[in-house]
Structures are given as structure tokens and as C-alpha cells.
Amino acid sequence: MINVAVKQGWAGGAWHTRQFEAALKEAGYNVVGELDADVVIAHSVACYDLKLKSPATYFILIDPPYWPKKHIFLRFIDKQRQDIKTLKARYGWKYVAKKMLWGLLYMTAKPQYTLLAFQRSDSLTFLDELKEKNVLVIRNKQDALCSADLKVALAAYPDFYYWELPGEHDDYYTNPKPYIDLLPQSL
């Protein structure tokens, strides 16, 4: 069984990823902590906070908030507007309110992620630390935090894989299958 760690991003936590983690288990993966993982899945700002001593050999980075010419605060506002518009239609106001409330709680609990978001979101230099690993970077096509130019910027990392999926920044929370389908079946 492959051990998978899930690192939630800036405003994400266990409430957000419960459906994704349940789908991982159902697909036959064992969900563990980062230091026991064969595969690390990092989302958003968590991409900037990877433990390099992890035994993981495979990293999946979902929507690193890279966008050199647009301030992270403006992108965050755009994302919240997008969430309200699309999630309200799909899941209703109650879900949107819970998601935002939990997001605020997680942001408060992880002040270092706020610092990382402001310091690193205009660069991909954090990827230099992963050059010896197998890396897949996923960008959702309607992501308000991650630039469409990510693919071009990744040309500096020719051994990394890039994949685009439909959806928004937090799509893997409620639509886990396309992401799980990209996981290795064996290592």
C-alpha cells in the first residue's frame, strides 16, 4: 500500500480535505503524515512548506499560488468572489459560509503560511529543493491564485511534469477523482 500525505494550504485544513482523504482511502491509499509518506500531495501555500527530510519520492503540487505580476492579496479577493459565485450555486450558502469560516480559522492557526504566501508567491525557487524527486505540478484552469503562465515558468524544470485540470483553486476538496487518477499505482 502506498502511503500518501496531504498538506493543506493557507486557508485549508482537515474540514476541507475530509472528502479527498476519504476518497484516497477508498482508492487503496494509506493516508499518513508527511514524514511517513511515499507520496506528498501539497496544495496552494503548502507547496512552499515541504519537509525535505521526507522519505517521499513523489510530490504532487496542486495549484502553487505562483503569479509574479499580481499581488497575492488581490488574488485572494478574486478567489473569495469566485468561491461565493460558483460554490453557492453548487452547494448553497451554508456550505460557502462553513468553508469560509473554517478557512479563517485555519489561516489564524497557520500564520507562517501567510508569511510564505507574501514572500514566495512570485517565484518558483522552492522547486529547486525538489530537483531530485519525481514532481507533478497540477494547475486548475479556473484558478484565481495560480497564473496560467505557470506552465511556461516550469520550462526551467524540464524533469517535472505539468498537468491541467478543469476546476478552481480548491477543486480537489470536492472533486477528488481526477487528482487521485494522477497518483502512481506503484512506486
pLDDT tens sequence across 18-27: 999 999 999 9
Tens of pLDDT, residue by residue over 48-86, are 999 877 889 999 999 999 999 899 899 989 998 998 999
136, part of any domain: yes
Is the pLDDT score of 12 beyond 90? yes
The CATH number of the domain holding residue 107 is: 3.40.50.1820
175: left (phi over 0), alpha (psi -120 to 50) or beta: beta
When divided into structural domains, the chain yields a total of 1
Say if 187 falls within a structural domain.
Answer: no
SS (H, E, C) 23-92: HHHHCCCEECCHHHCCEEEEEHHHHHCCCCCCCCCEEEEECCCCCCCCCHHHHHHHHHHHHHHHHHHHHC
Q: Does position 135 have pLDDT exceeding 90, yes or no?
A: yes
Q: Indicate whether 186 pLDDT > 90.
A: no
186 occurs within a structural domain:
no
> 2 in helix, strand or coil?
coil
In a domain, 82, yes or no: yes
How confident is the model at residue 172, as a pLDDT?
A: 96
Percent of the chain with pLDDT over 70: 100
Q: What is the pTM of this model?
A: 0.93
Give the range of the structural domain holding residue 96, as residue numbers without chain letter.
3-180
